[in-house]
Structures are given as structure tokens and as C-alpha cells.
Amino acid sequence: MTASSPERRVIVLSGGSGGIGQAVARAANADGAAVCVWDLQAPPADIDAAVFPCDVTSAGSVGEAYRRTMERFGKIDALVNCAGIIGPTAVVGEYPEQAWRRVVDINLIGTFLCCQAVVPGMRQRGFGRIVNLSSIAGKEGNANQSAYSAAKAAVIGFTKSLGKELATSGVLANCIAPAVIETDLIFQMADEQRATVLSKIPMGRPGRAEEVASMVLWLISDRCSFSTGAVFDLSGGRATY
């Protein structure tokens, strides 16, 4: 990442202990980057990462993780927001309010707080890359997943807004909208719901976390230079716009 520094680049992964986060961390390790994980759980031992315990729904917790990251590394070149939950499978009329709020807090508010923490420093340095994980559900809306669909749609809108705000700053903000990815997260869905969303993928299979990681690594590299506020589908053909 020559535009930022000839030194080792520093990548922060919120929710870096989850399935997609682990895949991104391993790919970043292989690419020679320093990885920081902001999560309440540590990643597996085979991942080389600095781990800073972080509740992404708490501004104070995110602020402390940011402070410790800067204290150790002095910069953040890229932020990848992987933290997310699917939540219950339920129709709107029966969806528990507190569960609805928690899904929005982790998927949307967590993304906002992490971006809010890193953007000033990136803007000051004139360089940065931000990748937010949305979902094809945020484009199409999944029945019985109203909280998740709404939160991921909001992540898309937030990323478009952030990309425009930062367009001339050297900081690029984009998001990825995957279909079902084969991680532990899909087992938060009821069996019937999981079968329904898988049936919508023309390729006939879920995506792999490594496929998400490959796209992330391009988006946080110097090779990505004219895309910001954009949504990159990773849906096996499900996306229709």
C-alpha cells in the first residue's frame, strides 16, 4: 500500500473473530499486513493479530480499542467492519423488540461507531480504506429477517454517504453485499429459512469466506483507487441490481 507508507500496513477488523473476519485476517497475514482485531472474543491461535477487546455497540469501548491500536501502531490504513449477527427468524408482528434493537445495534451502530473512530485520523493522513460488510438481504429484503435486512440496507446507505463525504480526502469507503456465506453465522438461521435463502442463489451453493476476503483485500489495496461509496455484490448470481 505505497500511497499510505512504505511501512507495514495496519488493518483493523471489527468482529475479526467471526468466520469472515478470520478469513480476512488470514489473507491479510499472508499479504504481510499487521492485523488488529476489535472483538469480544479472540481469533484462533493460528491468526497473527493484536486483539483489543471491543463491544462495537459502545462508543467508549470502540474509543478505547482505537486508542490502544494507535498507541501500538501509530496509524490505521484500513478498517473492515465484519461484526454482525442475523438475529431471530420471525415475522414482524412477532419479532421481539429487544432482539430487533440488538441486530441494528451490532450491524449498523457498530459500523457507524468504528468508522467514526478511524475517519479523522485517516483524513488527517490523507489515506485510508474502509470496507463495510452489508448483505444481499439489504438490497432485496429477506422475509422473516426484517431487522437484519433493515440494518444491512442502512449499512449500504451509510457507506454511500460516507464515501461522498470523503471522496476528495484520499479515504475510500465501500461495502460488500454477500449472499449466504458458509460460516457459523448461517446456523443462526432456522433450517427452513437457511434452505430458502440458499435456494435463491443461481450458482446453487453458498459463498466461501475466502471469496469475501479476496474482494476485501482488493478494496483495501492501492489497486482500488476510483471506487468509493460503492456496493460490490458477492451473491453467486442472486443480485439483480
161, amino acid identity: S
Residue 51, strand partner residues:
37
Amino acid identity for residue 69 in this structure = T
Q: List alpha helices for 74-208, DSSP H.
A: 97-104, 110-125, 137-140, 146-165, 191-199
Helix axes 146-165, 97-104, angle to 10 degrees: 30
**Sign of the four-CA dihedral 24, 30, 34, 36:** positive
Residue by residue, DSSP assigns 66-83 as HHHHHHHHS---EEEE--
Asked whether 131 and 216 are in contact (CB, 8 A), the reply is yes
Gap between the Cα atoms of 47 and 43, Å rounded: 7
Catalytic residues: 148
Length in residues, the chain: 241
- SS3 of 228, please? coil
150 vs 199: CA distance, rounded Å: 21
Grid cell for residue 117: 473512530
